[in-house]
Structure 1
Amino acid sequence: MFKKAVTLISSLAVGLLCITGCSQDVSEGGKTDEKKLDKVTIAEVAHSVFYAPQYAAITQGFFEEEGIDIDLINAQGADKTMAALISGEAQVGLMGPEASIYVYNQGEENYAINFAQLTKRDGSFIIAREEMPDFKYEDLKGKEILGGRKGGVPLMTLEYVLKQNGLTIGENTKAGEANVRTDVQFGVMTGAFAGGEADFTTAFEPTGTAMEKEGTGYIVASVGQDSGEIPYTAYCATKSFMSENKDLIQRFTNAVYKGQLWVQSASSEEIAKSMQPFFDDMSLDDLISVADRYKEIDAWCQEPTLKEESLNKLMEVMTEAGELDKKPLYSDIVTTDFADKAIKSID
């Protein structure tokens, strides 16, 4: 359970050097800048095409324009991402704002503050074992679904959607309950599903497309399209780092916003090409298909402002899932100063 894991952040931080990362430094056309760039390490909660505006901001040179050289670490989980952030292994974390809520409620003095939102809805899809063109949520009655880590937004959003569609969540599948399993780690869910575990699973792109090509699963529904808008992934930094590096955080936010603007006007093919250096095991056609899918569900934010009503929606989902003891003040864990300045200076 994540809330319990947060209390172990200090001990987790000791072992951060063993995190397997995808350290990448890619700029458009292989250009190098003679001037010294500020190095910023981003700990990603996952490595996914879902974060297309970020990869575009790197390959299109927007971070470089702002004097920043980006290094990426795939932390594989919000708990590990937060540990990397608090330990200083990473300067910026990309994860769901629920992680900063948990840390704040645990009383961590140097808690994380969210300063730029990247995605505005769940990026996961429900995967079935066979094609189901007429899929309805009632098809999940009496079935097992691999849902992810307890306390994580992917699981909570999935359960929220199931409840909104009249399903009862529980282990009694014979009585028609949907058994949403949390005993399989996020990183191995698709492998477990391919090996015969459960009737359905959830997956982000590009995993969903890869499963369809392999014939191990088929996308039947978008959780994000059916859940509505929610601040799904956002950038955050610790209170102390933000206080001491305001100019750097501002330039970082500027680059993110440039990436968001670029993605809005770019074609799916252009978006796919901008991401290709980070997903060199995928064909351009597959990346185009994935970009189309995320554009279709309107997954990416048009601007980096994390709004109060959006955070309240997230906390509503967390409360319904039984994962939120108390709601922190919006102003304690979110700042819009950097996003507001980015929008004013770039528009």
Structure 2
Amino acid sequence: MFKKLVSVASSLALGVVCLTGCSQNNTNKTTTEKTELDKVTIAEVTHSVFYAPQYAAISQGFFEDEGIEVDLINTQGADKTMAALISGEADIGLMGPEASIYVYNQGSDDYAINFAQLTQRDGSFLVSREKNDNFSYEDLKGTEILGGRKGGVPLMTLEYVLKQHGLSIGEDDPSADVNVRTDVQFGVMAGAFAAGEADYTTAFEPTASQLEKDGSGYVVASIGADSGEIPFTAYSATKSYMEQNKDLVQRFTNALYKAQQWIQTASDEDVAKAMQPFFEDNSIDDLIIVAQKYREIDAWCSEPVLSEESLNNLMKVMETADQLDQRPPYSSIVTTEFAENAVNNTK
């Protein structure tokens, strides 16, 4: 547990009128205590309005209410997020649970444990170079898609959806229905697409809407809506960090749960306003639109408990993508202790 530092302001002596039974030298001392917040560095896999509850937890003061000050770093990839977590550059990682599965299966002693789920669907949208109001996945035959990093959940979920629609997938394979490219880094896919690479790309918000606004592409499908529920992003910490900071992890989860509950009843405009300090280049109107899109596909969890059924759904997607040889025990890479405490005790 982090040790809180307490600073005590100097007492200010106030003269008082001498009353019967009081000493003429009697003074009243006023002591003001200011408690410093525990600083927590979160490495987020990407910076997106997809993570609206996290930004609301900051801007609405839920983290501060729990005595936490958050510092965000954007790592652009689950592999880089996990590296920041293991190296100690970050205290908590926000990424897909697949990263913790990979680390556990590699035999790491201080592996990452998922303690709070944030989103329950893929947050990416399929963006076409041409406008298509009657899009069908059959339209993808003979085309090229920028899919993202091999082994990452956005790519695996895309491939899962394509296979569910009967499409064969390959990379530089003329016999495949769809050429899904993995040679372009996730963080530069939108720029590469806008510059003329491929026929389609996947993009999170607000990037997808920005491509539409710029006339560079058109959203034709929601990968999350078509793939079903999976634990797309969750918070994790190394086993050692969690053992040493149980109270802090609990307070962190409490704040997240408050934000998840707030999101459920807040208007799209209120959600947009809560996010805008983190997306200053986007107008309130733009953020309202993307908040509506994520609400429509039920992207945000209403509570942080990551269930075994949900994790199994993710591992099924990973197996379909040939990225998982062995399923780790649920109890090894997931703890529901903090999430259940938050749901049961947070008001």
RMSD (CA atoms): 1.2
Please say if 1:303 is aligned against 2:303.
yes
Partner Cα distance (2:175, 2:41) in 1 = 49
**Residue of structure 2 in register with 1:191 after alignment:** 191
Aligned partners of 1:143 and 1:173 also within 8 Å:
no
TM-score normalised by length of structure 2:
0.89
Which residue type is aligned with residue 218 of structure 1? Y
Within the alignment, does 1:330 sit opposite 2:330 as a pair? yes
User: 2:95 is matched by which residue type in structure 1?
Assistant: M
CA deviation map 1:100-132 (0-9, x unaligned) = 000000111100000000000000000001211
Give structure 1 stretches of 5+ with no counterpart. 1-32
Alignment of 1:142-157 (within 5 A): 142-157=142-157
> Could you tell me whether the CA contact under 8 Å between 1:257 and 1:303 is conserved in 2?
yes
How far apart are the structure 1 equivalents of 2:229 and 2:148? 20
Q: Counterpart in 2 of 1:244?
A: 244
In the alignment, the residues of structure 1 paired with residue 214 and residue 323 of structure 2 have an alpha-carbon distance, to the nearest angstrom, of 36
| Conserved 8 A contact 1:121-1:230 | yes
Query: In 2, Cα distance between the equivalents of 1:229 and 1:186?
Result: 22
Matches for 1:67-82 after TM superposition, within 5 Å: 67-82=67-82
**Where in structure 2 are the equivalents of 1:1-347 lying within 5 Å?**
34-171=34-171, 175=175, 177-346=177-346
User: Which of these two proteins has the greater Rg computed from alpha carbons?
Assistant: 2
Other structure's SS at 1:69 match: strand
3-state SS of the aligned residue for 2:122? coil
Distance in 1, Cα, partners of 2:316 & 2:174: 30
Specify whether residues 85 and 173 from structure 1 end up closer, same or farther in structure 2 by C-alpha distance, changes over 3 A only: closer
Q: How far does residue 174 in structure 1 lie from its aligned partner after superposition?
A: 5.8
TM-score scaled to structure 1, two decimals?
Answer: 0.89
Counterpart-to-counterpart distance in 1, 2:242 and 2:175? 51
Count of residues in Structure 1 that have an aligned counterpart in Structure 2: 315
SS in 2 for 1:189: helix
> Greater helix percent: which structure?
1
Give yes or no for contact 1:121–1:229 (8 Å, CA) kept in 2: yes
> Aligned partners of 2:95, 2:58: CA distance in 1, in Å?
18
Aligned partner of residue 132 in structure 1, secondary structure? coil
Tell me by how many angstroms 1:265 deviates.
0.4
C-alpha separation between the residues in 2 aligned to 1:172 and 1:342?
48
Give yes or no for contact 1:43–1:90 (8 Å, CA) kept in 2: yes
SS in 1 for 2:155: helix
Note if contact 1:263-1:271 (Cα within 8 Å) is conserved in structure 2: yes
Q: Which amino acid aligns with 1:330?
A: Y
Instruction: Give the Cα separation in 1 of the matches to 2:209 and 2:171.
Output: 29
Structure 2 counterpart of 1:245, which letter? Answer: N
Identity %: 72
- CA deviation profile, 1:58-89 (whole Å, cap 9, x unmatched): 00000000000000000111111011111111
- Give 3-state SS (helix, strand or coil) of 1:303's partner: coil
Structure 1 contact 125–208 (Cα < 8 Å) conserved: yes
Gap change, CA 1:166 and 1:108, over 3 Å in 2 = same
Which sections of structure 2, spanning at least 5 residues, go unmatched? 1-32
Q: Aligned to 2:72, what secondary structure does the other structure show?
A: strand
